Amino acid sequence: MAKHETPLLDQLESGPWPSFVTDIKRQAEKKPECWDILGILELSFKERITHWKHGGIVGVFGYGGGIVGRYADVPERFPGVEHFHTIRVAQPSSKYYTSKNLRQLMNLWEKHGSGMTNFHGSTGDVILLGTRTENLEPFFWDLTHEMGQDLGGSGSNLRTPACCLGTSRCEWACYDTQEACHSLTMHYQDEIHRPAFPYKFKFKFSGCPNDCVAAIARSDVAVIGTWKDDIRIDQAAVKGYMANEFPANGGAFIGREWDAFDIQKEVIDLCPTNCMWMEDGELKIDDAECTRCMHCINVMPRALRPGAQGGASICVGAKAPILDGAQFATLILPFIPVTKDNDFEELIEFIESIWDWWMEIGKNRERVGETMQRVGLPTFLRAVGVEALPQHVKYPRENPYVFWNEEEVEGGFERDVQEFRARHAA
Amino acid sequence: MPTLEHNGSSFQVDEDGFLLTGMEEFNEDWIEYVSSVEGIEELTDEHRKVIDSLQEYYKKNGIAPMVRILSKTTGFPLKRIYELFPSGPGKGACKMAGLPKPTGCV
The rounded distance, in Å, linking the Cα atoms of A164 and A355 is 24
Look up residue A395 and give its amino acid.
Y
- Which positions in chain B touch A195 (Cβ < 8 Å)? 67, 88, 90
Task: Quote the ipTM score.
Answer: 0.89
Q: Which residue of A has its CA nearest to B79?
A: A194
Among the listed residues A113, A187, A166, A176, the one whose alpha carbon sits nearest the alpha carbon of residue A143: A113
E strands, A83-191, in order: 86-89, 116-119, 126-129, 162-163
Q: pLDDT of B13-62, one tens digit each?
A: 998 999 988 888 888 999 999 999 999 999 999 999 999 999 999 999 99
* Contact state of B82 with A54 under an 8 Å Cβ cutoff: no
- Which positions in chain B touch A58 (Cβ < 8 Å)? 16, 91
Q: How many CA atoms lie within 13 A of B84 on its CB side?
A: 22
- Architecture of the domain spanning A160-227+311-392: 2-Layer Sandwich (3.30)
Judge residue B55's burial from the number of C-beta atoms within 10 Å of its C-beta, 0-12 exposed, 13-18 middle, 19 or more buried: middle
Three-state DSSP state, A226: strand
- Sequence ranges of the domains in chain A: 7-154, 160-227+311-392, 232-305
| pTM, entire model | 0.94
Catalytic annotation present for B94: no
The rounded distance, in Å, linking the Cα atoms of A315 and A318 is 8
Structure confidence at residue B103 (pLDDT)? 77
* Contact state of A196 with B15 under an 8 Å Cβ cutoff: no
- Domains A7-154 and A232-305 in one fold: yes
State the CB neighbour count (10 A cutoff) for residue A284.
14
| pLDDT bracket for residue B5 (50, 70, 90) | confident
CB A168 within 8 A of CB A182: no
* Contact state of B86 with A68 under an 8 Å Cβ cutoff: no
| pLDDT bracket for residue B105 (50, 70, 90) | low
Q: pLDDT of A319-337, one tens digit each?
A: 999 999 999 999 999 999 9
Catalytic hit among B8, B45, B62, B105: B105
The rounded distance, in Å, linking the Cα atoms of A179 and A175 is 9
CB A106 within 8 A of CB A93: no
Q: How many CB pairs under 8 A join A and B?
A: 66
* Contact state of A59 with B91 under an 8 Å Cβ cutoff: yes
The rounded distance, in Å, linking the Cα atoms of A125 and A93 is 10
Domain A232-305: give its CATH code. 3.30.70.20
State the CB neighbour count (10 A cutoff) for residue A40.
23
Structure confidence at residue B23 (pLDDT)? 84
The rounded distance, in Å, linking the Cα atoms of B92 and B101 is 11
- Domains observed in chain B: 3-97 (1.10.10.370)
Q: Which residue of B has its CA nearest to A364?
A: B66
User: Fold for domain A7-154?
Assistant: Alpha-Beta Plaits (3.30.70)
